[in-house]
Amino acid sequence: MQTDSSFTFVLFGGTGDLSMRKILPALFEAHRAGGMLADSGKIVAVARHASDRADYIQWVNEHVKSHVSKNGVDETAWASFLARIEFINIDLSKAEDFVQLREVIEGLPGIRVFYLATGPSLFVPICRALASVGLNENARIVLEKPLGYDLKSSNAINDAVGEIFTEEQIYRIDHYLGKEPVQNLLALRFGNALFEPLWRREWVESIQITIAEELGVEARGDFYDNTGALRDMVQNHLLQLLSIVAMEPPHSMDSDSVRDEKLRVLRALKPIDPRDIGKVAVRGQYHSGVIRGNAVPAYATEPGVKPDSSTETFVALKVEIENWRWAGVPFFLRTGKRLADRVAEIVVNFRAVPHSALGASALRAGANRLVIRLQPNETIRLYCLAKQPGEGMNLASVHLDLAFDQFFREGQMEAYQRLLLDVINGRLALFVRRDEQEAAWRWVEPILNEWKASIKPPKPYASGTWGPAASSAMLAQHGTCWLEEEN
């Protein structure tokens, strides 16, 4: 991916965890690859936890190197990357301090990218301060999640930012959309005649989407206890993945064609009747347990968490899409913390053959399935049945693998690297449009409101398990189970 697009990348929250773990490592990998970033491109870090550029570069050396290339750091490339970085210490709550920022960047070339790796409470003040010094022209603004607490607060942020930047200037980032298997899902569906005829209710029995984490809330207790898994993961990541899986073929891969089709899926989600939430939604909260031999504490005892907290750390949902392609096909969404493994995957279970002359094994559920693994290793695996060697017609499950790191010699591009390059080059297809975000909040809100009003606490589950038993029971009612339970 060659580019000659000159840019000035302004990173607000330049000493924060996200900047250290994801953003700066992604920019370094693009720099190291050669040709992905224009030689004239500059990075301007904005923060208060460093006094000057030398102090900031020391901070970057200490906190970023461990998150870059697994094969070690090329010191020559690292030195030339650091040469791109400028630093400014300003108070983000003081609009007058942004005059200093303008003085630093007004002579720098190319499109201006403002990346807000800050808390959402600072989004509007930063945007207004940028406008007050005329920095909202020839610019793009990147907003990290969470964008609001509910539909009302999300709209308030979008309204305020929309008064300063046009929709075409706003990049709402969801890093799951930048992952290689998600991109390859689009390629498999829309680039091959094999899958598209099967990608519908006649041939698909059910679809599972899971994002599971072994980690707890770590040092984010204060934030997480006011957020919960439904807001933190379902409203954005899981619904975005669902819309990619279920969307109709777009007219082209330009930004609005792709996002128009995703929006149609979100608007076709069957509204959840509050009276049915107990049947189609499971919320849980982790208790103490053991993960990989290490004892871990209960959520309620984590720092920053209220001892009587009813915040959910686990969500499982049964979702339906009311359109011709997917009517009657259940989509099962699941996310949680302190689960048995760290995994993100999409499982497409195809229907069994209608009649088998080869025995009962050909009729079992899940004999044919497509598993798209997003993490930890990115693969796409197609399962089917084949005859076992030897006497008789005995069938066994086999699979065809697309393991990207083995098939393609060039290294895979990390999600943040792809998305940051898309921002710099003005490609919006992998970013969330405002109407998509509103549709997702509108669908999620009845669940949020019902759980807020409920006197029933979240269902407990032991850390190191796959969540409350009610999650498995919900799938059992539909004659299926989560993938790991079958194995």
- Residue 152 annotated as binding site: no
- Residue 179 annotated as binding site: yes
Return all residues near 145 (Cβ < 8 A) that are at least 6 apart: 172, 173, 174, 236
- Residue 96 annotated as binding site: no
- Residue 270 annotated as binding site: no
- Residue 91 annotated as binding site: yes
Buried b (16+ CB within 10 A) or exposed e, 302-316: beebeeebbbbbbbb
Question: 40, 73 in Cβ contact below 8 A?
Answer: no
Q: Which residues carry out catalysis?
A: 237
Q: Distance between the two ends of the chain, CA-based, in angstroms?
A: 40
Compute the distance between CA of residue 106 and CA of residue 360 in angstroms, rounded to an integer: 71
Binding-site residue set: 48, 91-92, 145, 175, 179, 213, 232, 337
Give the residue numbers of the binding site for NADP(+): 48, 91-92, 145
Binding-site residues from annotation for substrate: 175, 179, 213, 232, 337
